[in-house]
Structure formats: structure tokens, C-alpha cells
A and B are shown apart, each in its own frame.
Chain A
């Protein structure tokens, strides 16, 4: 009973935040809403007996990724999206995609509806840090290693992208080039 109430509370909050994220034109509001989603999902993970994932969710998503995003928003000092000069067909496309995915969600719901209900058991070992840690360094050692490489590479990549520009601004060069081309014709 309590579990259901909590689930609907958090689920409702998550969906509201998600919609608000899409709805808001201002990227910062979107970001805040998204943090809301993350936090409510984290709470849902706790009800799903996955405390480790819940903590990591907060730590990585809310604490690292979104801080970066907010940082970038502040750095670039972004304004609201203005004007509807958007390619019109995208609305149709998005609507279509939404309908398809919703239908799919119903389909999944329908398919899984009769699955037996697993009783709430907070002592389940699957979500415990120890279990996850053990699995990570035995069975899942290889993925962890790959993640290591992945992170190393991401560091290299982002440093390279963010490093101060050694090249001159090339845009002007490109424009001049196209002028020359135009003259030749």
C-alpha cells in the first residue's frame, strides 16, 4: 500500500517534471525539471531495492552531468528559444513518433500485465553494494575495463575539444573561398 502510494507519487512527479522539461523553452528550467526527474527516479530505485543504483543516479546524473549542463547554460548565457520558425514537418514527425512510442508502451504494459508480482523484499541481495561490487570485479570485469577505456577516451576527447583554439578562425576563410569560386564562374 505504502509502496504503491510512493510509486505513484514519484512516478507522477517524474512525469510532470519530464513534461515540464520538454515544455519549457528556457534551458535552465528544463535542466531543473530534469534534475527533478532524476531525483524521483532515484527514489523509485530505492523502492525497487536498488540503493546503490539510486545513490549513483544522484551522484552521476544529478551531481555531475546536470551540473555540467547547468554550468554550460550559464556559461553560454542562453536565452529562451524564440519564434516558431521551426521546420514544420518536424511537429508531425514528433507527434507520429510519440504516438508510436505510446502505443508501444501500452503494448508492453499489456504484455507484462499478468507477470506475477514480486513481493517487496528490501533484503534482496541483487541491489546491494556488495553484490554489485562482487559481480563487477568477477563476472563483469571486462565491461568495467571497457568503461575504463571509454572514460579515458572521453577525457582525451573533451579536453581536445575544449582546449583553446590553436587554429585561426576559419569561417572567414571559407567565405572568402566561396567568393573566389563565385568569381571564377
Chain B
């Protein structure tokens, strides 16, 4: 029995981490939706949702209930299996990257020997990350690129013109901007010298500029723009452009399946913001915090963690802000911008970074 528990313990810890992490993310996402409506409302001189609960704080739950109880319509001539598969793929791929993100610094001050059966033996640190992957950046990029299948499959399987157009646009857009995104990340990777996300944060701590946004400002801008495009947000929301495509790839989706897409989009926003934070804003790292709290202590971890969430929220606010202010691109504009401006800029950035890094390391 003891042996079984000993074997299972790491898995249990990981499972717990996953549950906690995902729960947190989903909560944040739920309130992002509310925040978006509120903020947009304020920007447009409206109030926004205010009926459900005080200031409308229970609105997400009401929406959720509505989605559950709505009739789930499946188009007659759709390809059923793919039609069901698509939202699952979308949401799964949106959630997957979360496992590699460091939500905060390691907690080293706790002595874990109090755990029964010697489970805490040898455990020195509790990382605030679910899985430490050597190739974190690649993992995130890879999973993100797989996410496009959800949209494409949805577009294809709905057997609807609008959906198909949306799907096609979406995939073209994703492929195009993924390149720029990857290229902009390379600058950071070059500076950090690792693909590990935690490693990148540590590298930022040790660098002269503290945050990579300073040396990699161009990279940051490119990444940000590409991130907007990757998440199909305004001004790159052509795959679901209401005015021309009647919501694009998810035109035919309703009820819970629509909710899954909806959630996937917001989770994507969240993960991309997280990526941006980790790469350019030092992740959970707050300059000067180590002077206030002891590194490795619980307060230090907590403050760092909330700083991380705060940075992410700032990005999420940026998303909403942009949505409230900018119009949508035309498709050819979008393509031209991606290929003829963003990618060259990103590549130039990479080359300059290579040269600079080379001379710095000499």
C-alpha cells in the first residue's frame, strides 16, 4: 500500500496542480468575459451587465447556465464526428500550454518532512509550475499551432459557406502570423539562451535590463500584434467577422459547443498574455522584490504570483481596449501586413539580436 502511494504521489501532486491551475485560469477567463463587457460598456458610455449579482459579478455563471440549457443544434448535413471534435480540440489546445507556465517562483522555505510515509523526503522546493519542460517555448508554440485545427475542422464540418470561409481565413491567418510570432520569440530565446520558460524568467532577472521588453522592444511589438492575430481578436477577427461571415467558423455552433469555442478563445487570450508576460515582462519577476521578502519564502512567492496575474490582466485589458477602439482589417491587408511587414521586421530583429548577442558574449 505504501509503495503504491509512493508511486502515485507525484501523479497526485501533478493532478492537484492541474486542477488548481485550470480552475484558476477558467475563473479568470470567466471574469475576463464579464470585464470585457463592462469595459466595452464604459468605453462606449454604457453601463454593461449589472443585473446578475452586485455589479453583475454573477453574470458569467448565468451565461454558463444559459449555455447548458440551450438547445444543442447539429446541422443536418454536417460531418458529425468532426463537428463534435472541433470544439474539444480548440479548448484542449487552448488549455494545454498552461501546464508549462511558471506561475511563480519556487518555494524553498517550507520543510516538507512533515508529510507522512516520508513522502516529503528529499523535496527541497515546490515549483509553482505543473510541468517543467526543457523546451517550453517550443511546446507552447506547437500546441498553439495545433489549436488552429479546432477552427478549421469546425469550419469544414459545419457544411456552411460562412463557416468554411471562416475556417479557411483562420488557418491562413494563423499560418502567416505564426511565423512572425516564432521569429519574434527567437530574439528572447537568444538573449536568454534557453527554451525553458522558467529559465527565460531567471535570465531576465540576471540581465542588465531586468525585463526583455527593453532590449527586445521590436520583438515585443511584433509578438503582440501576432498574438492578437493568433487569437483571432480585433482587429484580426476576420474568421468570425459578424458583419461579413455571420460569426464565421462557429456560425452553426450553439449551446455548450459554442461555449467551448468561446472559452477556448478567451483561454487563448489568457495563455498568449501569459506568454507575453513571461517572455518580455519578466514573468512573475518584480524587480526589487527580493529586497523586501526573502527569496524562496511564501510571501515572496505570493507577491510574485499576483504580480504575474496582474501583468496578465494588464494584457487582457489591452485586448479589450483594442477591441473597443480599432476597426477590422480587410483580408488582403491582413495578409500583406503579416508577410510584408511583420515577418521582415521580426527577421531583422533576429539578425540584429544575433549580432549584438554575439559581441556581448565575446
Contact = CB atoms under 8 A, between A and B. Distances in A.
Interface of A: 28-29, 32, 35, 39, 51-52, 54-56, 58-59, 62-64, 67-68, 70-71, 73-75, 77, 128-130
B141 interface: yes
A71 B168 contact: yes
Contacts of A52: 134-135, 138
Given A59-B142, A67-B148, A129-B195, A74 B174 contact: no
A59 B179 CA distance: 11
Contact of B138 (A56, A67, A77): A56
Nearest to A68: B175
Closest 10 CB pairs of A and B: A63-B145, A58-B142, A55-B138, A59-B142, A55-B135, A51-B134, A71-B171, A51-B135, A55-B139, A62-B146
A59 B141 contact: yes
A155 B234 CA distance: 30
Given A71-B172, A74-B168, A63 B152 contact: no
A59 B135 CA distance: 12
Nearest to A59: B142
Which of B142, B155, B167, B172 has the most chain A CB within a 10 Å cutoff? Answer: B142
B143 interface: yes
Nearest to A28: B156
9 contacts: A29-B81, A29-B82, A54-B135, A55-B142, A59-B138, A59-B142, A64-B175, A71-B168, A129-B194
Which of A32, A39, A74 has the most chain B CB within a 10 Å cutoff? Answer: A74
Interface of B: 79, 81-82, 85, 133-135, 138-139, 141-146, 148-149, 152-153, 155-156, 164, 167-168, 171-172, 174-175, 178, 194-195
Contacts of B164: 74, 77
Nearest to B157: A28
A37 B245 CA distance: 33
A68 B152 CA distance: 11
Nearest to A122: B134
A119 B141 CA distance: 31
Given A55-B138, A59-B141, A128-B134, A35 B82 contact: no
Given A74-B164, A129-B134, A35 B149 contact: yes
Which of B81, B138, B148 has the most chain A CB within a 10 Å cutoff? Answer: B138
A70 B138 contact: no
B146 to A, nearest CB: 5
Contact of B145 (A32, A64, A73): A64
Contacts of B149: 32, 35, 67, 70
A128 B135 CA distance: 9
A39 B142 CA distance: 11
B21 to A, nearest CB: 20
Nearest to B155: A74
B145 A59 contact: yes
A75 B168 contact: yes
Given A51-B134, A52-B134, A129-B134, A63 B156 contact: no
Contacts of A75: 168
A59 B195 CA distance: 14
Contacts of A70: 149, 152-153, 156, 171
Which of B134, B144, B148 has the most chain A CB within a 10 Å cutoff? Answer: B134
B150 to A, nearest CB: 11
A32 B85 contact: yes
B188 to A, nearest CB: 15
B65 to A, nearest CB: 32
Which of A63, A71, A74 has the most chain B CB within a 10 Å cutoff? Answer: A63
B135 to A, nearest CB: 4
B79 to A, nearest CB: 8
A25 B33 CA distance: 41
A68 B148 CA distance: 11
B146 A58 contact: yes
Contacts of A77: 164
Contacts of B168: 71, 74-75
A77 B135 CA distance: 36
Which of B79, B81, B135, B143 has the most chain A CB within a 10 Å cutoff? Answer: B135
Contacts of B153: 28, 32, 70
A57 to B, nearest CB: 8
Contacts of A59: 138, 141-142, 145
